[in-house]
Chain A
């Protein structure tokens, strides 16, 4: 539950003012609705009485009928305002939640970021965040508005009609409605969790079946796999059915509750009337108001039915509580080499201008070592200017070390947008790095920096996308440049050209490149070999 509260706090404080005004208007809408029905009921009964008594002329019709018109129009206007404000507040909250999720993920370590890419985990985060969007608009705001409305109505009824009648309405509604909704929330918990889990399994299963279809067909297992998926689907739908059943039961109970409380308010009015405390026109108010209050209670159902899903999502979604803080910069150790690391038993030092290849069979831990130097994975015995990568404040470390990951991701937008991720650079600087990576000639006829990359890296070949990512890292002019398989997907000539240009562009940087293709190593001064070892 505490996870849910944390997220709720984040959502509610995204814009306190908008949220608060929206909440007030929600209450106003409900109150005006109750007042409209109550006043109309009173008005008609009172005019009926006056008509029967033959005192119609003396009856003040102006104020009540003006009141009816005012409430009818005012309620419509309040409803409009409420909708606008709550939607605005919700959209703000929605953005705030996603910002918090992004922030949290930006602090994750390198391996989990690599695994996050394109995985089911990613779509799951989005689905969870989506489920949490409803928490304010469908759960908290309506519950708050219903509660406040009931309390205000209680005070007004006690004043206008009498405490016993007001008590009947309050005691009739609140505990029973709370019980029904609490039970719905509880009963919905397990099926909504199960429905969600089965749906995730189904989605993954369909992807698995389609991507692995050759093997399934050859193994004669396709039919069995289809049957298994249909079973998963059945379980998912069955869980959804259980949830729907609980939801419908709660709806029926709430709807019956409205009728019962209305009837009770009617009897309470009749009792007071019988004692001669009030007249029939006043006695009828409670009945009409009780009827109108149904509008406060009924919409709560939907939010409570989703409670299980929301709580589940909240438990999984990790959000950053605080914005990123800037650590105070630290000084390098004097006279320490630029970079030292330990390979096998040997200490290796890299100095400015070094151009070093890191070689080893697939799986020998090249990527892990590079991530370690970049401070994104704990690897012992790495020192940058005499200090462990983790000891450097993030911002300072990024100015020293840049890394091109093996699978780099581009964002949709223009080439310029992608290069701008590295910071604000002039067009000339951008063009220069694109020339270094031998990409400018290919890009300039297609719009140059303004070429739009639509989805992911569509429009560029794999090798071009890789070089664009490299250009992005080069813009930072780092002192240490780490390259994970920089020549993968490039033909030998291009690879050689890019490496030569790169060295000329960053003559004073220490470059460490993980490679598995032997023929590119000619460009490098020396070669470090990493031997396979047990990982983790």
Chain B
């Protein structure tokens, strides 16, 4: 393998495994200890059976041996449980660390990935690291120790039996590569199949209203069943081969055990005179070999089963790495609640520009005083929204300066500056909270009636089934686009401050509603708020004195 193929793996190792390496090592060794209890149990059983054969049956010895076997079994179970606890802790700690990092970064410095994709990564994909952490490493530790110890034990009793295992054993690593790859492929195929069929289901459900209105339910559902059938056929074709190669692994294990059993039987009959050391093999020794032979193969099979967990883990790490490396617009300041910036209001920009995702957006030179009303115009894509974001310190300037209330807008002043402004974003988003809480993000506890009236939204709330206690959720099911926009304006009013930034406040609205909104904005301006809108709506532009072209 080339060095390049190793690098992502090593990165994954360093990122996920290294921080919990101590726990994993501890768990690995305890698990090895548990694995080494089996030879003791096997020895007890073999010894007790040879006692049966040696003379009259002594029930007390049998009971003592049985008690020993049971007690050792309990110890073994408890050791496994202990190791399992550490492994869980290691995985839990890893998931916590990565999840917290995502939570603390994605809103402060958003990249290009959608919120749904980030949420899916944090909640659904991160747990895929768990099997890799808990199963693969412990299987790896066991496979390095347990088979070697068992092999040494068998060799000490019979070199032929040892040789059988030795030949079957190393053949397994040869097949392991094959089988591992095939198992990886098989599990990935199956996961792909499920993912594919889930995507298909999701899409059909999303389009179900259209499908229903077209009277196409049956056609679509039959088509879906057909596609699923086809996907299954193809998956099964791959699985047939993939399972075959893991069957080879089992075949070798089974043949190894069968050969050992037959060899031991023939030796005990005296038909085979070679294979053991000075003394001939006794019944007890024969039984012991038979009992531990399957355990010789067990760790190898566990490792094969855990193989694809590692691949799934790598895939998650790759996505985490990709997100880490993605270009981000880091906000200024902490987003903390602080005292508003003192001094009379003013905004002045001088040669400022934002560099984001490869494009340069120039902030027009502005000079805004308290009580001004300003409309930023320009074709869509010119960067009107970005300019508003820059004025709020939500994206950093690559060059030039923005000066607010007489001081430069920097990381230190951003929070205090934002305490003076409110913003109406372009797209509505209703979090999963009651409307009254959504309207009042600063938690002032004010009665929203006045703000709702100002935004012309009183009727909207009155119509909602539970009024201010309604949870609109997600895309605001239950209110139309225009209603959502008016609620956002009410929210901006509730947020207070003396500057209002509004991004396309009349987009997609009917003229009647748009007039309401423009009136509301005018009232706010007359009441003393400084207003900066981004819009290309002629009615809105006409309503205010100053317009500034963006991207000119």
Contact of B48 among A208, A252, A266, A398 (CB under 8 A): A266
Find out whether the CB atom of A230 lies under 8 angstroms from the CB atom of B103.
Answer: yes
Q: Which of B145-153, B266-274, B398-406 contacts A (4 or more CB under 8 A)?
A: B266-274
Assembled-state Cα–Cα distance A488/B480 (Å)? 13
Assess whether A24 is interfacial by the CB under 8 Å rule: no
Find out whether the CB atom of B202 lies under 8 angstroms from the CB atom of A95.
Answer: no
Q: Which residues of B contact A199 (CB under 8 A)?
A: 123-124
Q: Which residues of B contact A71 (CB under 8 A)?
A: 258
Assess whether B327 is interfacial by the CB under 8 Å rule: no
Interface digits, B114-132 against A, CB 8 Å rule (1 contact, 0 not)? 0110111011100000000
Q: Which residues of B contact A264 (CB under 8 A)?
A: 66, 70
Q: Which residues of B contact A216 (CB under 8 A)?
A: 107, 335, 441
Q: Which of A112-120, A349-357, A490-498 contacts B (4 or more CB under 8 A)?
A: A112-120
Find out whether the CB atom of A69 lies under 8 angstroms from the CB atom of B193.
Answer: no
Find out whether the CB atom of A113 lies under 8 angstroms from the CB atom of B208.
Answer: yes
Assess whether B523 is interfacial by the CB under 8 Å rule: no
Q: Which of A156-164, A217-225, A308-316 contacts B (4 or more CB under 8 A)?
A: A217-225
Assess whether B198 is interfacial by the CB under 8 Å rule: yes
Find out whether the CB atom of A280 lies under 8 angstroms from the CB atom of B208.
Answer: no
Assess whether B532 is interfacial by the CB under 8 Å rule: no
Assess whether A56 is interfacial by the CB under 8 Å rule: yes
A374 closest partner in B (C-beta): B213
B493 to chain A, nearest CB (A): 13
Assess whether B527 is interfacial by the CB under 8 Å rule: no
Chain A at the B interface: SS class: helix
Q: A101 with B268: in contact, given A95-B225, A221-B442, A271-B59 (CB under 8 Å)?
A: no
B84 closest partner in A (C-beta): A248
B442 closest partner in A (C-beta): A219
A248 to chain B, nearest CB (A): 5
B520 to chain A, nearest CB (A): 15
A426 to chain B, nearest CB (A): 17
Q: A44 with B290: in contact, given A217-B335, A221-B337, A255-B77 (CB under 8 Å)?
A: yes
Find out whether the CB atom of B236 lies under 8 angstroms from the CB atom of A98.
Answer: no
> Which residues, 436 to 456 on B, are CB-close (under 8 Å) to A?
441-443
Q: Which of A1-9, A122-130, A183-191, A334-342 contacts B (4 or more CB under 8 A)?
A: A122-130
Find out whether the CB atom of A263 lies under 8 angstroms from the CB atom of B67.
Answer: yes
Q: Which residues of A contact B247 (CB under 8 A)?
A: 76-77, 79-80
B312 to chain A, nearest CB (A): 15
Chain B at the A interface: SS class: helix
Find out whether the CB atom of B421 lies under 8 angstroms from the CB atom of A361.
Answer: no
Interface digits, B216-242 against A, CB 8 Å rule (1 contact, 0 not)? 111111001100110010011001100
Can you list 7 A-B pairs with a CB-CB distance of less than 8 A? Answer: A45-B283, A91-B193, A208-B431, A208-B432, A210-B107, A213-B107, A259-B41
Find out whether the CB atom of B208 lies under 8 angstroms from the CB atom of A106.
Answer: yes
B93 closest partner in A (C-beta): A237
Assembled-state Cα–Cα distance A248/B80 (Å)? 9
Q: Which of A60-68, A143-151, A380-388, A436-444 contacts B (4 or more CB under 8 A)?
A: A60-68
Q: Which residues of B contact A248 (CB under 8 A)?
A: 81, 84-85, 88
Q: Which residues of A contact B265 (CB under 8 A)?
A: 43-44, 47, 61, 64-65
Q: Which residues of A contact B290 (CB under 8 A)?
A: 40-41, 44
Assembled-state Cα–Cα distance A258/B508 (Å)? 69
Assess whether A274 is interfacial by the CB under 8 Å rule: yes
Q: Which of A427-435, A468-476, A503-511 contacts B (4 or more CB under 8 A)?
A: A468-476
Q: A218 with B463: in contact, given A105-B208, A244-B88 (CB under 8 Å)?
A: no
Find out whether the CB atom of B45 lies under 8 angstroms from the CB atom of A266.
Answer: yes
Q: Which residues of A contact B282 (CB under 8 A)?
A: 48
Q: Which residues of A contact B119 (CB under 8 A)?
A: 202-204, 206-207, 210
Assembled-state Cα–Cα distance A411/B57 (Å)? 76
Find out whether the CB atom of B477 lies under 8 angstroms from the CB atom of A237.
Answer: no
Q: Which residues of B contact A110 (CB under 8 A)?
A: 209, 212
Assembled-state Cα–Cα distance A517/B99 (Å)? 46
Find out whether the CB atom of B96 lies under 8 angstroms from the CB atom of A237.
Answer: yes
Assembled-state Cα–Cα distance A83/B495 (Å)? 61
With most chain B CB atoms within 10 A of its CB, the pick from A83, A260, A362 is A362
Q: Which residues of A contact B335 (CB under 8 A)?
A: 216-217, 220-223
Assess whether B12 is interfacial by the CB under 8 Å rule: no
Find out whether the CB atom of B209 lies under 8 angstroms from the CB atom of A117.
Answer: yes
Q: Which of B22-30, B172-180, B352-360, B510-518 contacts A (4 or more CB under 8 A)?
A: B510-518
Find out whether the CB atom of A51 lies under 8 angstroms from the CB atom of B103.
Answer: no
Q: Which residues of B contact A324 (CB under 8 A)?
A: 217-218
Number of A residues contacting the other chain (C-beta, 8 Å)?
152
Interface digits, A75-89 against B, CB 8 Å rule (1 contact, 0 not)? 111011001100110
Find out whether the CB atom of A363 lies under 8 angstroms from the CB atom of B460.
Answer: yes
Assess whether B135 is interfacial by the CB under 8 Å rule: no
Assess whether B387 is interfacial by the CB under 8 Å rule: no
Q: Which residues of B contact A260 (CB under 8 A)?
A: 70, 73-74
Assembled-state Cα–Cα distance A262/B491 (Å)? 70
Interface, chain B (partner A; CB < 8 A): 41, 45, 48-50, 52-53, 57, 59, 62-63, 65-67, 69-70, 72-74, 76-78, 80-81, 84-85, 88, 92, 95-96, 99-100, 102-104, 106-108, 110, 115-116, 118-120, 122-124, 190, 193-194, 197-198, 201-221, 224-225, 228-229, 232, 235-236, 239-240, 243-244, 247, 250-251, 254-255, 257-258, 261-262, 264-266, 268-271, 282-283, 286-287, 290, 331, 334-338, 389, 392, 394, 415, 418-419, 421-423, 425, 427, 429, 431-432, 441-443, 459-460, 463, 465, 473-475, 477-483, 491, 495, 508-513
Assess whether A226 is interfacial by the CB under 8 Å rule: yes
Assess whether A500 is interfacial by the CB under 8 Å rule: no
B287 to chain A, nearest CB (A): 6
Find out whether the CB atom of B74 lies under 8 angstroms from the CB atom of A256.
Answer: yes
Assembled-state Cα–Cα distance A273/B251 (Å)? 35
Q: A409 with B209: in contact, given A106-B221, A251-B84, A534-B463 (CB under 8 Å)?
A: yes
Find out whether the CB atom of B239 lies under 8 angstroms from the CB atom of A87.
Answer: yes
Find out whether the CB atom of B77 lies under 8 angstroms from the CB atom of A256.
Answer: yes
Q: A267 with B217: in contact, given A61-B266, A211-B115 (CB under 8 Å)?
A: no
Assembled-state Cα–Cα distance A204/B118 (Å)? 11
Assess whether A499 is interfacial by the CB under 8 Å rule: no
> Which residues, 364 to 421 on A, are CB-close (under 8 Å) to B?
374, 376, 394-395, 397-399, 402-405, 408-412, 421
Assess whether A155 is interfacial by the CB under 8 Å rule: no
B472 to chain A, nearest CB (A): 11
Q: Which residues of B contact A83 (CB under 8 A)?
A: 239, 243
Find out whether the CB atom of B481 lies under 8 angstroms from the CB atom of A207.
Answer: no
Find out whether the CB atom of B208 lies under 8 angstroms from the CB atom of A408.
Answer: no
**Apart from A44-B268, A50-B268, A404-B213: 19 A-B pairs, beta carbons within 8 A:** A43-B261, A45-B49, A84-B240, A95-B225, A129-B198, A199-B124, A202-B123, A206-B122, A207-B119, A208-B431, A218-B392, A237-B95, A252-B78, A255-B77, A324-B218, A363-B483, A411-B203, A421-B210, A421-B214
Find out whether the CB atom of B495 lies under 8 angstroms from the CB atom of A218.
Answer: yes
Find out whether the CB atom of A405 lies under 8 angstroms from the CB atom of B224.
Answer: no
Find out whether the CB atom of B80 lies under 8 angstroms from the CB atom of A259.
Answer: no
Q: A361 with B214: in contact, given A45-B49, A56-B271, A219-B337 (CB under 8 Å)?
A: no
Assembled-state Cα–Cα distance A75/B251 (Å)? 9
Contact of A215 among B52, B205, B423 (CB under 8 A): B423
> Which residues, 439 to 460 on A, are CB-close (under 8 Å) to B?
456
Q: Which residues of A contact B422 (CB under 8 A)?
A: 218
Contact of A61 among B250, B269, B459 (CB under 8 A): B269
Q: A233 with B225: in contact, given A41-B290, A76-B254, A266-B62 (CB under 8 Å)?
A: no
Find out whether the CB atom of A56 lies under 8 angstroms from the CB atom of B254.
Answer: no
A92 closest partner in B (C-beta): B232
Find out whether the CB atom of A219 lies under 8 angstroms from the CB atom of B495.
Answer: yes
Find out whether the CB atom of B206 lies under 8 angstroms from the CB atom of A488.
Answer: no
A475 closest partner in B (C-beta): B214
Q: Which residues of A contact B53 (CB under 8 A)?
A: 45, 48-49, 52, 280
B125 to chain A, nearest CB (A): 11
